């Protein structure tokens, strides 16, 4: 079955992660994604290693693990956007595209004659999405930004990490570039929404995505904790600020995470731990009381979990429907029978003569297919192919290459 976006063409002028993550989602859904890169170096993320992929002979390629994580299913076209010939090719591609993604500094593509106002003249149905650190308006609109910086500025690091009064306390970033990734997810949702809107209006649209806006939107319950109560949320380590008990517990042979979401689950937990009296203690009987008295409750539960191995507690709590599980390493994640069953890890043949691992899309459709045929492309792998599709003759392609346009 064809992917649900198999009729859609995407011109991807973005690089690094947020934009490429969005276009990879669209490619997984079947879209034809043309990734435009600088001749010579390409996407900055290609060099963000080690590690780098090895070819069939064991030599390192120029594709970093970072790049390989976000560029599956695309076609790579090298193009110098600062040259008039390169700009003209972009205009030709935009005329045939449904979506343009870009993450240049504010105003850069306008100077090249490739901004939304210019490209919508050649394609009024074009959906054009700009991704920047701070959006297209406001006092910080021209400032550069990376994920780490936005995690700090957007408040995430103020609520991530151990309490300041405990060993290891202090602000922490999340262990993956979560804001880049979520910006990519928001971007893909926005452009698909614009596609749906175009079906009604017949017109394209311009979408302005700012990473700091995304980060602020992700504050979710912590934002409401502040806005409703007027108190500044603090770092609480692994303890949840609103629901208890939810934290890490140490067992005889390792740690587990316990996620009790309601009073019924808490009562079952107490029964499994052999502490039924804690279920009826007025200090712990309801979630608001457990949150209020968690400094008393936690040590009691800590002692109980130390009595058995983590496998015992995971098995027993699963039987009664209390969410609980081990803290897996990354290798353990891919060894999990559930992840294996869902085929989240697959291998695709790479032009370097090797197989490249890919953590694939979580989407599962009953009436549409997702195909993983093409690995992340090598730099300029599809340049001639894409240019020929525009009707450019081989002699002209050779000339463009001599001029360092492609």
Residue 282 parent element (H or E): none
Which of 370, 373, 371, 334 is CA-nearest to residue 350?
A: 373
180 noted as active-site residue = yes
Q: Which is catalytic among the residues 12, 28, 147, 180?
A: 180
Torsion 11-101-7-182 (CA) sign: positive
Edge to edge, what strands does the sheet with 32-37 contain?
Answer: 74-78, 32-37, 9-12, 99-102, 127-132, 205-210
Reduced to 3 states (helix: H, G, I; strand: E, B; else coil), residue 234 is: coil
Note whether 26 and 370 are within 8 A (CB). no
Residue 178 parent element (H or E): helix 178-201
Instruction: Report CA-CA distances (Å) from 382 to 87, 103, 239, 336.
Output: 18, 22, 50, 37
Q: Quickly tell me which residue has 């994604």 as its tokens.
A: 33
List active site positions: 180
């Amino acid at each position: 079955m064809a992917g649900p976006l198999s009729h859609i063409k995407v011109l991807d002028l973005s690089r690094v992660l947020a934009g490429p993550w969005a276009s990879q989602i669209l490619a997984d859904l079947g879209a034809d994604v043309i990734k435009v890169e600088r001749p010579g170096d390409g996407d900055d993320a290609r060099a963000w290693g080690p590690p780098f992929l090895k070819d069939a002979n064991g030599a390192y390629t120029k594709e970093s693990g970072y790049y390989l994580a976000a560029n599956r299913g695309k076609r790579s076209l090298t193009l110098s956007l600062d040259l008039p010939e390169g700009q003209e090719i972009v205009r030709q591609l935009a005329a045939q595209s449904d979506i343009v993604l870009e993450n240049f500094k504010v105003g850069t593509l306008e100077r090249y004659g490739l901004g939304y106002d210019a490209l919508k003249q050649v394609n009024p149905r074009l959906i054009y999405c700009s991704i920047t650190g701070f959006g297209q308006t406001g006092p910080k609109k021209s400032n550069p930004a990376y994920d780490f910086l936005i995690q700090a500025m957007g408040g995430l690091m103020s609520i991530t990490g151990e309490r300041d009064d405990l060993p290891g306390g202090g602000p922490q970033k999340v262990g993956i570039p979560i804001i880049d990734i979520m910006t990519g997810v928001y971007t893909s949702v926005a452009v698909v929404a614009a596609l749906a809107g175009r079906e009604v209006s017949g017109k394209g649209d311009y979408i302005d995505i700012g990473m700091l806006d995304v980060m602020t939107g992700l504050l979710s319950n912590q934002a409401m904790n502040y806005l409703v109560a007027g108190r500044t949320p603090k770092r609480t380590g692994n303890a949840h600020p609103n629901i208890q008990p939810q934290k890490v517990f140490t067992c005889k042979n390792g740690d587990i995470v316990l996620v009790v979401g309601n009073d019924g689950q808490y009562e079952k937990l107490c029964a499994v731990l052999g502490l039924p009296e804690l279920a009826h203690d007025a200090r712990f009987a309801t979630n608001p009381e457990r949150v209020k008295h968690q400094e008393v409750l936690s040590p009691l539960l800590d002692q109980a979990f130390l009595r058995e191995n983590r496998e015992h507690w995971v098995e027993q709590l699963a039987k009664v429907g209390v969410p609980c599980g081990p803290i897996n390493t990354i290798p353990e994640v891919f060894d999990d029978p559930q992840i294996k069953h869902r085929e989240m890890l697959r291998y695709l043949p790479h032009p370097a003569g090797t197989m490249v691992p890919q953590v694939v899309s979580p989407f599962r459709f009953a009436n549409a297919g997702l195909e993983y045929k093409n690995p992340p492309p090598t730099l300029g792998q599809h340049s001639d192919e894409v240019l020929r599709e525009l009707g450019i003759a081989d002699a002209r392609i050779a000339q463009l290459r001599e001029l360092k346009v492609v």
